[in-house]
Structure formats: structure tokens, C-alpha cells
Structure 1
């Protein structure tokens, strides 16, 4: 589904958040690969589960057509610096919810991009009668966990020893959800 673009100015950086478009596919493929190498907060190591340009074109097309999906990008000076997706479900018993995920280039952390992608996703979900947004977050990602809590997400469960990171240790994944009556 598409939404209206919105402009932000945070700490001297201006950016827009808008729906992903076909022309974004190549940049999204490149930026996802870069982001995966910048943090261990995500599920993938750099290069794993690689999505090429045609793959992103298909995702964008699917998300644009599906009223239960939303694909947003954050753009600074015509450069995509982050993105988020809400992916819905077609099964009747789970059609009330979407799964949220977000990625932002490390150079752009601290400018509210993740927060604003989340805010825009929540507003979209609320206006489209989506009752629940769920997400997974690594237990060590304290800033993200606090952000999600500020927006009404609650811890619903813990996947114990769910991720094996570069330091040779296992970490838990926290499952969080925001439910709107």
C-alpha cells in the first residue's frame, strides 16, 4: 500500500519518508547489504539472504498492491538511508496483524529516522484497522527496546539463545507487540 510522503528536519538533517517505488530497488539492494555489515542487531550477516534488484522490484510491487503491507524508505538528498516494512498476513486468523522491521544506515543513527519510520507505520496501521504490530529485537538493542515501549509495544516473549553472534555467545530475541482495540 502507498502512503503520503512526509518531510522531517532533525538535528540539521532534512529527510523525507515515503512509500518505496520501483526506481528504489537497486539502491535498496545495495543499502540492505551495507546495513547488514554495520550491525549485529539484525538477523543476517552481510551477504546472507541477499535480495537483488529484481527481488526488491517484486517486494515493492507486492507491498504496493497488498493493503496489509507497507514499504517505506527514508531519503536524504535523493539517497535512501533507511527503510521499513510492515508485512501482513492473508490467513483469516492472522489478518489483523502485521510484522514490522526497520533498517537505517549507521551514519544516520540518532536523527530519528527509525523512530519516524515506526511512527508512520503505526499511523498507517491504525488508519487501516490493523489491530496488532509485532516485531523481534535483539536483547542487547536497548535503544530500540525503549523506543518500542514508548510507542506502546509490550514484551510478549523471549526466544532464548536465539542468535549466535560474532563474539561467540548466544543472545535472546525479544518478541514485542502493540495491540490496538
Structure 2
């Protein structure tokens, strides 16, 4: 599904364009995912595990573009991709069609500028329009900034998966499972955009 563009101004005064990426952006999105995986341990994969090549990602982007419910929002600064976020169905089965899974990545130098909050609010609105009833995510236990943002946007902690992530240094991190029931945030008017 394609997302119409939305212009936002972030805390430092820069103007960001939020919209769907297309297949021509595949190489830049692969690069974004590689960099964000290098910048923090909060991403599920290490940089060397960013396994989609340009052609595979082009096909994925085309598939998302043609999907009725799944979508991706990309953040552009002066034409350069600095972040992306997306929603995908949990699976294709009827019993789970009301559920979506959320993921996001933003270049470290643009974190804490309001981009993540703007993207998340736009994602939640579009998820509701697309007929999803709840959005789910998993977050590293020590990613306090992300947890705070998710809670501010209506997510609730629903469980912990112990030792979900094993880092290269041999240490473990728990995964906090969170869910946002979309009718609750609509009722509470938590959408900011």
C-alpha cells in the first residue's frame, strides 16, 4: 500500500518528508538497515546479517506497494533516507487478520528529534484505516527511550521473553512484548498528527 506524503518539522527545525519508498530506493534502504544495525545493539540483526540484496528488497517493496494492508513509511531529509517504519500482517490466517507487527529504524544522528514519534503516530493511524485492530512489537529491555515512546503512543507491556537476544559478547537481553489496541488510542485521542 502506498502512503501519501506528509511534511513534518522536527525539533532542530529541519523539514522531513514522510512517504512510501519505491523499488528505486532499495539500495538506500539496505544501506540504512546496515548502518542502523552498526549503530546500536537494539536492532535484531548485526550489520553482516542484513541479508536482503537490492533485487530482493525491490521485490519486497513492490509486494508491500501492492498489498491491501501492509505498508512502509520512509523518512526523507533533503532526498536522503534517514529512517523507515512499517506494518506487516502477523500472518495470513483469519484468526490473526486483526493483528499487525511494527518495526522502525532511524539513523542515530536523527534520534530524539521527534521523527520516531511522528512516524509511529502516522503508522498507527494508517493501521487503523487499514482495518487492523492491534499493533504489536518487541523491544530490547534496555532500550528505555523506545519503550517510553511506545508507551506515550498507547502501547502497553504485555510480557517479557527472557534471554531473547544473545549478543556477540555472550550477554543476553530480554525482549519486552508490547501491544497497542487501536480503539483505545482512538477513544483517548492519543494521535498527535
TM-score (norm 2): 0.90
Q: Does 1:17 align with 2:26?
A: no
Structure 1 residues 30-74: Cα deviation after superposition (integer angstroms, max 9, x where no partner): 111111111100111111142111111111111111112011110
What is the CA-CA distance between 1:108 and the residue it aligns to?
1.1
Partner of 1:4: 4
| Separation (CA, whole Å) in 2 of partners of 1:76 and 1:6 | 12
RMSD value over aligned CA atoms? 1.2
| Separation (CA, whole Å) in 2 of partners of 1:51 and 1:113 | 25
List structure 1 runs of 4+ shifted beyond 4 angstroms.
Answer: none
| Separation (CA, whole Å) in 2 of partners of 1:42 and 1:100 | 13
Partner of 2:31: 30
| Separation (CA, whole Å) in 1 of partners of 2:50 and 2:145 | 26
Partner of 2:145: 143
| Separation (CA, whole Å) in 2 of partners of 1:170 and 1:32 | 22
| Separation (CA, whole Å) in 2 of partners of 1:112 and 1:167 | 32
Contact 1:154-1:176 within 8 A present in 2 as well: yes
Contact 1:68-1:98 within 8 A present in 2 as well: no
**Equivalent runs, 1:89-128 vs 2, <5 Å:** 89-128=91-130
What is the CA-CA distance between 1:98 and the residue it aligns to?
0.8
TM-score (norm 1): 0.96
| Separation (CA, whole Å) in 1 of partners of 2:56 and 2:172 | 31
Q: Secondary structure at the match of 1:51?
A: coil
Q: Does 1:58 align with 2:48?
A: no
| Separation (CA, whole Å) in 1 of partners of 2:56 and 2:73 | 16
What is the CA-CA distance between 1:26 and the residue it aligns to?
1.0
Moved more, 47-56 or 73-82: 47-56
| Separation (CA, whole Å) in 2 of partners of 1:27 and 1:115 | 22
Q: Secondary structure at the match of 2:151?
A: helix
Partner of 1:152: 154
Partner of 1:44: 45
| Separation (CA, whole Å) in 1 of partners of 2:76 and 2:132 | 26
Q: Secondary structure at the match of 2:179?
A: strand
